[in-house]
Amino acid sequence: MSAKKGGKGIGGTAGKGSSGRGARDLRVKVKTARGRKLSSTLWLERQLNDPYVKRARAEGFRGRAAFKILELDEKFNFLVPGARIVDLGCAPGGWCQVAVPRVNALGEMSGKPVGTVLGVDLQEVEPIAGAEIHQLDFLEDGADDKVKAWLGGRADVVMSDMAAASSGHKQTDHLRIVALCEAAAELAFDVLEEGGTFVAKVLAGGAENALQAKLKRAFRKVVNVKPPASRADSSEKFVVAQGFRGRPE
């Protein structure tokens, strides 16, 4: 969306001149239109001024969340050429977009093994070059067998940026997203190769302690990270579990 200075509803804030303190303020301000909630106006203003939103548009990613997995991979290096990746709840597809070139899913890196990117989601997702997308409820019986069949084996990485629809109640939302993360972990236990990696979003709040304990029994290394692309005012964090040892007892 482009913002026109002085346009109806969206406008720029003029500075006082061209010298230091009078430097132009380029932050976009959004007025609350009739019939639109203040929360919607604040969300729109945040989107218009978010540097990651602007970068995503400029670099062709489907959302700012792409930079979260990119930054996590820069730190932990799990999206490597030849890796088989499962992206749970992959819509709109930004994480798959990041994974495709990094695992060499299109075979564009000469001399490097070709990887696989498999995305699954409840809703239909627009195709992504180099990724195989399936409409699937990963909670249904037999979902793990379908995933392994589509991959032609086990996965090296299971990753999830899923979040339950917000209820407006912080603790309820925390419990819901932890439940999703636990379900994603259960599927990861069934489909991961030995030594594999599990990456998932959680919300800080306390209920994730049992999940952390289970992951520490199943993986050699478990850390919690808040990547730079994660908004400072968000309670989200990401758990990165590496070195899969097998399903915990």
Domain boundaries, the chain: 10-49, 66-244
Length of the chain measured in residues: 249
Distance (Å, rounded) from C-alpha 143 to C-alpha 24?
A: 54
Residues contributing to the annotated binding site: 93, 95, 121, 137, 161
Distance (Å, rounded) from C-alpha 109 to C-alpha 238?
A: 29
Whether the CB-CB separation of 132 and 96 falls below 8 Å is answered with no
Q: Which token pair is 55? A: 């970068």
Distance (Å, rounded) from C-alpha 118 to C-alpha 38?
A: 39
Q: Which of 4, 201, 221, 237 is catalytic?
A: 201
Neighbouring C-beta atoms of residue 39, cutoff 10 Å = 10
**Residue 201 is among the residues annotated as catalytic for this protein:** yes
Residues contributing to the annotated binding site for S-adenosyl-L-methionine: 93, 95, 121, 137, 161
Bridge partners (DSSP) of residue 30 are: 10
Please tell me whether the peptide bond between 227 and the residue prior to it is cis, using omega within 30 degrees of 0.
no
pLDDT tens digit at each of 249 positions of the chain? 334 333 333 333 333 343 343 333 445 454 555 555 545 444 444 555 567 678 778 887 888 889 999 999 999 999 999 999 999 999 999 999 999 999 999 999 999 999 999 999 999 999 999 999 999 999 999 999 999 999 999 999 999 998 766 667 777 777 888 889 999 999 999 999 999 999 999 877 666 788 999 999 999 999 999 999 887 777 789 999 999 999 987
**What's the predicted TM-score (pTM) here?**
0.78
In CATH, what number does 66-244 get? 3.40.50.150
